[in-house]
Amino acid sequence: MNSAGRQGGVIVLNLLLDYGAELSNSIALHRAAESTHEGRIPVMEHLIRLGMDINGWDDKMGQWSIGTPIVYAVKGGVVDNIQFLLENGADPLLKNRTGDVGRTVMELIEEVGSAETVELVKQSCAKQG
């Protein structure tokens, strides 16, 4: 499921689900969010419709956990994915409980993001705040 989120499509995800794969055992939304492959937004839309939490943690990663889908998108640097997640309810002010513990996406993006992504997240924070 994780690889399908990262580089597959909706058809591949559905096929895996039809053959018994479980979303609850994956971080497919996180992988789609960080991916630079074309067509991730329809995949993210589909995963959210199927019940994946847009602010869900990647607890299944254990010690390699880094956070929520928006954290993956920021670290991947994919502006369209960041914008999609923010427009659909990703919380940039949520404090990370894994990886960069205690830091918000806003704090993280100021460190690793481009000027465009920093502005995008600032605008989203202003709308929330």
Q: pLDDT tens digits for the chain (129 residues)?
A: 888 899 888 999 999 999 999 988 889 999 999 999 888 999 999 999 999 999 998 877 666 677 889 988 988 888 899 999 999 999 888 877 656 667 777 787 777 777 788 788 888 777 766
Task: Give the HSE-up count for residue 91: Cα atoms under 13 Å, Cβ half-sphere.
Answer: 13
Give, in degrees to the nearest 5, the angle at Cα 81 between 79 and 86.
95
Give the count of beta carbons closer than 10 Å to the beta carbon of residue 90: 23
Q: What is the domain partition of the chain in residue ranges?
A: 2-128
The reply to whether CATH 1.25.40.20 applies to domain 2-128 is: yes
Element (H, E) at 101: none
pTM above 0.75, yes or no: yes
Greatest Cα pair distance in the chain:
44
Closest by Cα among 41, 50, 61, 38 to 13: 50
